[in-house]
Structure 1
């Protein structure tokens, strides 16, 4: 029996060698995809939270454009 499906879609992302080296250093060997998935989920949560705050504050989220 294999692993259950993760329900993910392969996606090509171009990163610099420096970024890849940094990811491997902090995430460990063979953990690149998991690290990137976690980083994307965290950033989406952060940005979606900002959007919700903007709506609750009448559109003024305190950021300059």
Structure 2
């Protein structure tokens, strides 16, 4: 009989959560937009990485041009 079987691994396995669940979202694009994006992706570049990069660039651009409050 085997007594006291226990695992050294944590109960939750798999990929570590990197984002706040409140920041997850689904986005819909105009017809043809995803095909255009996929046509310009670099080989093996994930779609999600492209979208994150594009959003970050746009946020920085808008933050630069946003008028400062007085």
TM value normalised by structure 1: 0.61
Total equivalences in the alignment: 55
Larger Rg: 2
Shift >6 Å, 4+ stretches: none
Distance 1:30 1:10 in 2: 21
| Structure (1/2) with the larger helix percentage | 1
C-alpha RMSD of matched pairs (Å): 2.7
TM value normalised by structure 2: 0.57
Structure 2: 5+ residue stretches without partners: 1-13
Q: How does 1:1-65 map to 2 (within 5 A)?
A: 5-7=17-19, 9-28=23-42, 31-51=46-66, 54-55=67-68
